[in-house]
Structure formats: C-alpha cells, structure tokens
Amino acid sequence: MSLKLSIIYYSSTGTNFQMAQWAKAAAEAKGAEVRLVKVTELAPMGAIESNPAWKAHYDATKDIPEASSDDITSADAILFSAPSRFGTMPAQLKQFIDSQGGLWASGQTVNKVVSAMTSAQNPHGGQEATILSLYTSMMHWGAIIVTPGYSDPVLFGAGGNPYGTSVTVNGEGEMQEDVKGAVEHQVNRTLDITSKIVNG
C-alpha cells in the first residue's frame, strides 16, 4: 500500500508553491499518493492586486484545490510549506491549523508525521523561527515531527537549516540557494520515517 502524503502550502508570489511542486514530484517518484493543496488566501484583493507578482501567482494557481480537514485525516504524513511572516508562519496557514480543533479534540492529529519548509528575504529573516512556530502547534497535535537535521550533505548547499528546507528570496523573487535537492531529501526522509511508523 502506498503512503499518503498531503502537501499543504501557502505562497504569495510562488516560492513555496515551487518547493511544494518539487516535493510532490519527489514523493510520487517514491510511489507515494500525493495531495497538493493550498490554504485559503485571507489577504484583501486590494493588497494582492497592488503587487503584480502576487496577483500573477494568485491567478495562475486558482485551480489548485484548497486544503481541508480531509487532507489531514486521510494522510499518513503532512508536509507544510509557507513563507516567514515576521518570524512566524503566515496568518493564512495559522488560520487553517487553528480551524482543526475538532480533529485535535477527537485525536485525529495524533501520530501524523509532519515536516515543514519555508522561505524569507534574507538568511536571518526568521526562517528557523517560522518552522519552529509551526512545530509548536504540531507538538500540541501529538504529531511526529521529522526534520532533515544534517542527515545528508545536500543540506549544506541549501543553507544547512536542520529544522526544514529554507531558502532566501531576493526582491525579484529569485531563490538565492539551490534547494531542490534538499527538498527532495526532506521528502524522502519524511516518507522513510512514515513507512516505519505505518508498517511497524
């Protein structure tokens, strides 16, 4: 039986969407059944339309399904990808997590394997803190957190974030590190640990 992975992301201008796409391809290459879903956009259209890159990405991803509780309950593992907002996860992702109280109360988040990725405009722009803010919620869920640590040399070329893959993005929206290999490794490690848990 193939493992079921939900990739739940938020992306305003496309960086975390690209990372999520790399993750999806890597997971499918390992035989996983993957759901790629976005959390609901909460920003007003005025803010989105004032940023051409944000508006272009918003329009380009209109057909991506929005995340629901079923993407948690049906999954063996969950990979989150979202940018840093002042050192924590963005409101859009926090709202989605906060809305899962029913699942938490009924024990349906317990033992879900989770991992996370992020981005920011500079190397010390809250990348580690953002992932840790999400992992704090996952501890309350009773989830099993899987981090890349320093388990493969590919991580050093991507900046060496042991909590999860992170990337620096410049003002033109260009990734400053080559993180594709780190994303793929993180997915493979997450699925390897998930397999051990699911299959005993």
**Whole-prediction pTM:** 0.96
Q: Which two tokens stand for residue 58?
A: 């918003």
Tell me 68's DSSP state. Answer: -
Residue 75 zone, left/alpha/beta (φ > 0; ψ -120 to 50; rest): beta
CATH number, domain at 8?
Answer: 3.40.50.360
The CA-atom distances, in angstroms, between 4 and each of 22, 78, 132, 155, 163 are 16, 9, 24, 25, 22
pLDDT tens string 184-199: 999 999 999 999 999 9
Distance CA 41, CA 55 (A): 12
pLDDT tens string 13-65: 999 999 999 999 999 999 999 999 999 999 999 999 999 999 999 999 999 99
Closest CA to 54 of 41, 67, 65, 63: 41
pLDDT tens string 60-88: 999 999 999 999 999 999 999 999 999 99
Contacts of 153 (CB under 8 A, 6+ apart): none
| Number of structural domains the chain divides into | 1
Q: Which domain holds residue 180?
A: 4-199
